[in-house]
Amino acid sequence: MKVIFEYEEQTSTGHVLVSGEEEEEDNINIVSDELPKDLIRKELPLPNVSEVNVVRHYTNMSRMNFGVDLGFYPLGSCTMKYNPKINEDIARLGGFKDLHPLSPEICIQGSLQLMWELEQDLKKLTGMDAFSLQPAAGAQGELLGIMITKAYYNHEHEKKNEKRRTKIIIPDSAHGTNPATAAMCKFETITIPSDAHGNMDIYKFKESLKDDVAVVMLTNPNTLGLYEEKILEISDLAHSNGSLMYCDGANMNALLGISRPRDQGFDMIHLNLHKTFSTPHGGGGPGAGALGVRSFLEDYLPLPRIIKQKEQVQKKQENNNNNNNNNNNCKFTLDYTKRKSVGRVRYSYGNFGMLVRAYCYIKSWGANIRRVSEHAILNANYLLSLLKDDYELPYNRKCAHEFVLSSKKFGEKSALNIAKRLMDYDFHPPTIYFPLIVREALMIEPTETESKETLDRFASALRSIAREIKENPNIVKEAPYTKSISRLDEVAAARKPNLRWHAPPKSDEKGDRRGRPEGEVEGGG
Ligand SMILES: Cc1ncc(COP(=O)(O)O)c(C=O)c1O
C-alpha cells in the first residue's frame, strides 16, 4: 500500500474536481481575509490528494488491521470481549467527555457520583473495603499495591521494631509485570515453581515463607487458566507469617459474582477494568487498573478520595451555608486529608472515560453479572473439549475462563506457525509462548461474548491446521498468504522501527520537497 505522500499530485484537494488554478485562487481568497497576501506561502510540503482519495486511503489502511468488531480475538490473558456500543455513547456524552480535571466539585457531582458508585460495585464484587480508581493500567495497579505494601511495612516496623521484609513470593506462571513491579519497588522476588497440576507448589512455598516475606503475589485463576486449588491454605500460611496477600485480579472475568478474592484471603487486588468490564483496549491503552484494599490499608491509598456526605451532615451544611455559594453543600466531595497516603500515581482521577464505560457495563448487568463469568467459563471449557485431542493439554483439568494448549508435538516454532496460519482463516491468533512454563504455548481465551457457532469454526480451523502440519508442513511455515504482509522480522520491527517515509530520489533534485532529504534520517529496519 502507498503512503499518502506517494499519491499523484492532484489538482484539487476538495470533493469536487476543479482546476488547480481555480482552487488556489479560492484558497488565497479565503485566507487573505485574515492574512496579508505577501505572507501567504504558495508551497507547503503537504500531499495534494483529493478528498475521496484521502478517505479511501485511510479506510483501506484501517481494513489492514484486526479488531474485536471484525472477528474472533481469543488473545489469552487479554480478555478481548466485545465492547457494547451503548458504553461508547454514554462515555461520549458532553458532561463526561468535556469534563475538566480542575472543575470545582459543585460542577462535577454526577461524575463524582459515578466514580463513587463504581467503587461500591467493585467493593461488592471483590469483598474489599476501599478502592482507588487512579491507576491507568493493570501494571500500575500492581505498582500501587506494592508501594502500599512497602509503606505499610515501613510504618509497622517503626511501631514494632521488626525485621525488614524485603521479599515477594511470586509463582513461575505469573505475568511478567508481577516480578517487574517487585523489582521497581526494590523487593527481591522468590519464584515458586508450579506443580504437576498447575498450582503453585505448596511444599516449595512453605520452604520459602520466612519472616522476610512482605507479600505473596498470586493470580487467581492463574495464567494457565486454572484455579489455585490451595488458595485458602496459602493465604492462611501467609497471614500467620505476617505477610500480605496480593491478588493480580487481571483474570476477574472468571470470578464475577461467583467468588470474592477477599474470601480467598487476599488483602489487595487490582482489577483490569479495561478487560473484565469491556472497555476497548489493545495496542497499548488506554486502561484502568483500579486497586482495592482491606480497611487496614485504606489510609495508604492515593489522594484524593471520593467521599459521599452522610445525609444529616449534608442537610446541616446546606442549612449553615444557605446563602453561601461555596462547595460545602456537595453530596460528593474530594478528600485530600493525607493520613498515610503513598501519593498520586496519576494526574486527576485516572482514565475517566474508561471508568464511565466500566460503570455502564457493570450497571447494565446488575444482579446478573455472574452470567458473564459463567458463560466465559462455559465457552472456554467447550472449546477446550473440542481441541484437546488434536493438541496437548499440559495440565489436564477443567479450566476457568481460558486455557493453555501446547503444540510441542509439532516441533520448534510450531506455536508461531499456527498463530500465523490462523490469520488465513480470519481469526486473530491466540497468545503464544506465554506462560513461559509451557513449551510452544497457545493461550486461548474465548470470552463470554462468542457464540457456539464461532467457537466451532475456530476449533475446526485449528484442527485443520493440525492436519496441514502433518500433511504439508510448508504451507503452515510460510503463512499467512491472505494478509497485506506476510512474516515480519518481529525483533527488528520492535528494536529498529522504521517510522519515517523517505522520498524516492528524484533525478533532477537532491531531495523531494514532500519527503525528507536523503541522509537526514537515521536508522530504519
Ligand atoms: C495476568 C495479568 N497480569 C497483569 C497484566 C498487566 O495489565 P496491563 O496490561 O493493563 O498493565 C496482564 C495484562 O494483560 C495480565 O494478563
Contact 273, 288 (CB under 8 A): yes
Contact 423, 247 (CB under 8 A): no
For 280-347, where are the alpha helices, taking DSSP H only? 311-320
Q: Quote the cell numbers at residue 152.
A: 505499610
Q: Write the residue with the smallest CA distance to atom 15 of ligand 1.
A: 250
Contact 477, 417 (CB under 8 A): yes
Spatial separation of the C-alpha atoms in residues 99 and 256, rounded to whole Å: 30
In which order are the strands placed within the sheet that holds 431-432? 403-406, 441-444, 431-432
Spatial separation of the C-alpha atoms in residues 383 and 385, rounded to whole Å: 5
Looking at domain 370-483, its CATH class is alpha beta
Q: How far is the CA of 175 from the centre of ligand 1 (A)?
A: 7
Residue 247 identity: C
Q: Which residues line ligand 1 (CB under 6 A)?
A: 77-78, 137-139, 175, 177, 219, 223, 248, 250-251, 272, 287, 289
Top mutation candidate among 175, 223, 276 for ligand 1, by most atoms within 8 Å of CB: 175
Top mutation candidate among 75, 143, 272 for ligand 1, by most atoms within 8 Å of CB: 272
Top mutation candidate among 73, 75, 77, 181 for ligand 1, by most atoms within 8 Å of CB: 77
Q: How far is the CA of 431 from the centre of ligand 1 (A)?
A: 13
What is the pLDDT, as a whole number, of residue 447? 97
What is the pLDDT, as a whole number, of residue 513? 41
Of residues 105, 134, 109, 100, the one with CA closest to residue 119: 134
Based on the number of CB atoms within 10 Å of its own CB, is 488 exposed (0-12), middle (13-18) or buried (19 or more)? exposed
Q: Write the residue with the smallest CA distance to atom 5 of ligand 1.
A: 138
Domain ranges for the chain = 4-63, 109-321+332-365, 370-483
Give 51-56 contacts, CB < 8 A, sequence gap 24+: 51/13, 51/14, 51/15, 52/15, 53/7, 53/10, 54/4
What is the pLDDT, as a whole number, of residue 20? 66
Write out the chain's pLDDT in tens, 525 residues.
888 888 877 666 677 777 767 766 776 666 667 777 787 777 777 788 888 989 999 999 988 889 999 999 999 999 999 999 999 999 999 999 999 989 999 999 999 999 999 999 999 999 999 999 999 999 999 999 999 999 999 988 777 777 889 999 999 999 999 999 999 999 999 999 999 999 999 999 999 999 999 999 999 999 999 999 999 999 999 999 999 999 999 999 999 999 999 999 999 999 999 999 988 887 767 899 999 999 999 999 999 999 999 865 665 665 665 555 455 578 999 999 988 999 999 988 899 999 999 999 999 999 999 999 999 999 999 999 999 999 999 999 999 999 999 999 999 999 999 999 999 999 999 999 999 999 999 999 999 999 999 999 999 999 999 999 999 999 999 999 999 888 888 889 889 988 888 877 765 544 444 444 343 333 222
Q: Which contiguous run of DSSP H or E holds residue 179? A: helix 177-184
Q: Write the residue with the smallest CA distance to atom 8 of ligand 1.
A: 138
Helix axes 452-471, 414-424, angle to 10 degrees: 120
- Measured from the Cα of 289, ligand 1's closest atom is 10
Say if domain 109-321+332-365 classifies as CATH 3.40.50.300: no
Spatial separation of the C-alpha atoms in residues 236 and 241, rounded to whole Å: 9
Q: Quote the cell numbers at residue 421.
A: 496460519
Q: How far is the CA of 19 from the centre of ligand 1 (A)?
A: 54
What is the pLDDT, as a whole number, of residue 326? 52
